Amino acid sequence: MTRLTAPFLDDPALKQVLAALSAEGAQALIVGGAVRNALLGEPVADVDIATSARPGETLRLAETAGLRTVPTGIDHGTITVIAGGRGFEVTSFRRDVETFGRRAVVAYSDRIEEDAQRRDFTMNAIYATSTGEVLDPVGGLEDLARRRLRFVGDPHDRISEDYLRILRFFRFLAWYGREAELQAVAACGELREGLARISRERIGYEIRRLLNAPDPSPSVALMTETGVLTQVLPGADASDLPELVEAEHEYGTGALTAWPRRLALLAPPDAAEALRLSRDETRTQDQIAQALTMPAPVAAYHFGRAVAAQSVLIRAARGETPPFGWCHRLARGAEAKFPLTARDLMPQLSGPALGQALRRAEAAYIDSDFTLPREALLQIALQPEAGS
C-alpha cells in the first residue's frame, strides 16, 4: 500500500473539513493536484476534496460542524467549505451521462471508480484519505512514477468533453512529465481544430502557465509537430526556445516572469488578440519587440530595466552574446534622466523647432552613453540645424 506523507495532512483546517464530511459515513478524499504534487515532492498550493456526499449533504454536514459554505459551483456538485479562514473546494463524486464539450449532464455517484473515470489525466485521478492512504483507481501511480502523461480512458473521448484539455495536456507535460503517451499526442493533433471553440481567455490562461514551466521547450516542440501551436498562435516560431531556456540559466533572470519573454521569442503576429492579453501585457510585448531593435542600454532608457533584460535574453537565444558588464549598462540606461525640458529652451524656441531641438539633444545624450551634462545639451539644442 502506498502512503502519502505530506505536511498538509496535519493541517487542522483540512482535518476539520474531512471530519465534518465523513461524520455520517460518507467518503471524503483529497484528490488531484495536492496528491500529485506531494507524491512528486513538488509544492502544494490548493487542496481539493472529493466526497460521496451529495451537494445538499455537504452543505448540511459542513454547517452542522459550524463551517461556512459558499455554493461556488453547486450545479456541478462543487461547494467551497471555509475552515481556518481558507476555502476548500469540495465536489461530489460524479459520473458523466452525456457530454457536450464544456457542458455535461452528470449524475452523482457513490463510487470513486466512476468519479476517477471522468477526470482528465491519470496522474490527476489519484486520491488520498485523511491518514494518507493512497487510492489509485486508474493506474495513475505508475504513470506518475514514470512521469508519463496519459489521459484517463480514451484520449479522443476526454478531449471531446473539453477541447481545452489539449492545451492542458501540453501544460502538464511541461510541468510534470517526461514522457507523453503516443495515443494522447496523436489525439491532440487530430482534434486540434476543436480549440477554435474555446474562448481566447481560457487559451491565454493555459499558454501563460505552459510558458512559465521551468523548461517548456520539449512540450512546445511537440505542439509544433502536432499543429497545435499553429492552431492557437498562427505564425509563432519556437525554434529558438531551447536556446532561450539555456540563456536564462546562463545569465539569470532575477525576478522576471518567464512567459512574457518566451511569448515575445515566439513572436506570433497577433498574440494580444489570440490570447486576450491585458492592456499592460500587450504593452510589454510591444516594448520587448521595440527593445529588440535597439541597443540594450537604450531600451533600458526608454522602457526600463526589466524590458531591456528580456530583450538581452532573447538576443542571447538568437546567438548574440551579451556584452561584458551588460547588467551595469542596463542599470545605467534605466537610471538615466534626460536633464532638459521644453521650458529650458523657451522662449528662444517654440513650435516644431522646439520639438526638433529636444529630440536632437536627447539623441546626443543617448549617444554619449548618458554622460553629456546639461550645459552641453543646451548648446546642442540651441545650435542652428545644418542647412537651416
Angle at 18 between CA 14 and CA 24, to 5 degrees: 160
Residues 6+ apart with CB under 8 A from 73: 79, 91
Which numeric CATH code is attached to 1-146? 3.30.460.10
Residue 376 pLDDT more than 80? yes
Query: Considering only 76-85, 98-107, 225-234, which range has the smallest mean pLDDT?
Result: 98-107
Q: CATH 3.30.460.10 residue ranges in the chain?
A: 1-146
Residue 105 pLDDT more than 70? no
pLDDT-derived band at 96 (thresholds 50, 70, 90) equals confident
**Contact yes or no for 236/269 (Cβ under 8 A):** no
213/28 Cα distance (integer angstroms): 31
Residue 388 pLDDT more than 60? no
Q: Give the pLDDT score at 357.
A: 94
Residue 223 pLDDT more than 70? yes
Q: Give the pLDDT score at 329.
A: 94
Q: CATH 1.10.110.30 residue ranges in the chain?
A: 153-232
The predicted model gives 201-218 an average pLDDT of 97
Residue 95 CA, chain-centre distance (Å), reads 30
Minimal CA–CA distance to 181: which of 215, 213, 158, 202?
A: 158
Minimal CA–CA distance to 161: which of 100, 108, 232?
A: 100
Q: What is the pTM (predicted TM-score) of this model? A: 0.90
Query: What type of residue is 176?
Result: Y
Q: Give the pLDDT score at 98.
A: 58
Rounded (10°) angle between helices 351-367 and 374-382: 140
The predicted model gives 187-210 an average pLDDT of 98
Q: Give the pLDDT score at 22.
A: 97
Residue 286 pLDDT more than 90? yes
Q: Give the pLDDT score at 60.
A: 96
Q: Give the pLDDT score at 384.
A: 75
Residues 6+ apart with CB under 8 A from 295: none
pLDDT-derived band at 72 (thresholds 50, 70, 90) equals confident
Write down the mean pLDDT value for the chain: 94
Residue 350 pLDDT more than 80? yes
Q: Which CATH number does the domain 153-232 belong to among 3.40.140.10, 3.30.559.10, 1.10.110.30, 3.30.750.24? A: 1.10.110.30
**Contact yes or no for 43/37 (Cβ under 8 A):** yes
Percent of the chain, pLDDT > 90? 90
